Structure 1
Amino acid sequence: MEMRDVTSSSSFWIRSSYDFSSPRSETLSNLPLQISLYFNIFYSPLLILLLSAAYLNKFPLLPGYYQFVSIIVLLLVFGLEVSRLYLGYRGNLGELVPHLTGCCILSALQIICCLYLILNLDMLILPIEICVIVPELLFLISQCFCGVWAIQRMVRSQKKKTILELISKRD
């Protein structure tokens, strides 16, 4: 049986130009944010399915203006969820400040929409809605805080790199 050195195989390791021993190539992605986004991706289909079922059941009982508002808010929540998770993943793993900032802004907007769905007493709130939206709110709040923390770390690191580059160009 032939022994092969798997560490030298180019298909096994992704070749990079970074020197991983230097502090300048420190990984800045936020693990708590990534874990929260990961579990939220699996929770989102359940959220969409259960909220859709709940609103289909109570839709005929709502007044006309609440029917219109609830459809708009639900479509907003579903659309924000998909784009927010994409921006969060892309921003955290790619260490991209604009994407993470977009994720935090969309999370704040989605928190407002979710609070409207469970705190508006005129909309006939079902218990399943509370059971589904409360964990989503916990995901959103944790992702907002972790996202801001990750943005601060990335901006601080990029600022240091820029200062070092300016100093090295001047010399």
Structure 2
Amino acid sequence: MNWREAVTDFSTNIFKDLPPKYTSYEIGKYEPCPSMPLQMFLFLNVFMFPFWIVTTIIFLYLKFQCLGHLTQFLSITVFIMIIFIELMRLYLGYTGNLSEKIPELAGFWMLSILLQLPLHTFLLINPYLQQRPVELTLNGVMWLLLLAELFTGFHALREAAARAKRYFALKTHLRATSNKAKVA
């Protein structure tokens, strides 16, 4: 028994519940299955993001002279970083979720947890920013949206990886069985 037959027999034992024959057309057709909760949170985030930008700019302009020099520098730096990272993050989230691309979803999730969460937390809990209730509420909503996107993004990433793994295993199994049929 050569290694190809051993792999084929092993994969046949693993995938017992599969129908015996698939055409290459059926296996070549991979339809992405996006995560609806993640897509809803991304949509809400895209809707809220311009309001957050405008509100933050207005309030930052109004209270800029009252802030200390370090707080002025940090608030401007964090605000600019959040804008650019959020644009990249939302693009990666939409692309990764709608087309079920694992690298884009992983990039979205890593940008969310490593950069956006600390930056939004800084804006939310820093007492030196002298936040008004409107700012505090909007920053809290953006922070909660970010947390929801983290949880649903992790679930979507895990499901996309599992689907890709199953698809690859099925394709490998069918390739092995078709090669075995050609040899016999």
TM range (shorter): 0.7 to 0.9
More helix by share: 2
Letter in 2 for 1:121: P
1:125 corresponds in structure 2 to 131
Structure 2 CA distance for aligned equivalents of residues 119 and 41 of structure 1: 23
- Write the deviation string for residues 124-153 of structure 1: whole angstroms up to 9, x where unpaired: 222221111111111111111111101111
Query: Where does residue 9 of structure 1 map in the other structure?
Result: none
Distance in 1 (CA, whole Å) between partners of 2:130 and 2:79 is: 15
**Post-superposition offset of 1:166:** 1.9
Is structure 2 residue 52 aligned with structure 1 residue 55? no
Aligned counterpart, 1:42: 47
2:82 to 77, 95, 115: 77
Q: Distance in 1 between matches of 2:134 and 2:111?
A: 24
2:131 partner SS: coil
> Which structure's relative contact order is higher, taking Cα pairs within 8 Å and 6+ residues apart?
2
Tell me, in whole angstroms, the C-alpha distance in 1 between the residues paired with 2:33 and 2:131: 41
Using the TM superposition, give the Cα deviation of residue 123 of structure 1 relative to its aligned residue in structure 2, in angstroms: 2.4
Mapping of residues 94-105 of structure 1, within 5 Å: 94-105=99-110
Q: Which runs of 5+ in 2 are unaligned?
A: 1-24, 178-184
> What code does the residue aligned with 1:167 have?
H
For structure 1, the 5+ residue unaligned runs are: 1-17
Aligned length: 152
Choose which of 91, 94, 105 in structure 2 pairs with 1:89.
Answer: 94
SS at structure 2 position matched to 1:58: helix
CA distance in structure 1 between the aligned counterparts of 2:129 and 2:144, rounded to whole angstroms: 22
The amino acid that maps onto 1:158 is A
Q: Which amino acid aligns with 1:59?
A: F
Distance 2:75 2:104 in 1: 28
The whole-number CA distance in structure 2 between the counterparts of 1:148 and 1:77 is 21
Q: Counterpart of 2:68 in structure 1: which amino acid?
A: P
Tell me the secondary structure at the aligned position of residue 29 of structure 1: coil
Structure whose CA Rg is larger: 2
Is the Cα contact below 8 Å between 1:54 and 1:128 reproduced in 2?
Answer: no
Once the two structures are TM-superposed, the CA of residue 170 in structure 1 deviates from its matched residue by 2.2
- Cα RMSD for the two superposed structures: 1.9
In the superposition, the TM-score normalised over structure 2's length comes to: 0.76
Amino acid at match of 2:97: N
What is the CA–CA distance in structure 1 between the aligned matches of 2:162 and 2:133, rounded to whole Å? Answer: 44
Q: CA deviation at 1:26?
A: 5.5
Identity %: 31
Shift of 1:93: 0.5
- Counterpart code for 1:48: I
- Matched residues in 2 for 1:76 and 1:133: separation? 15
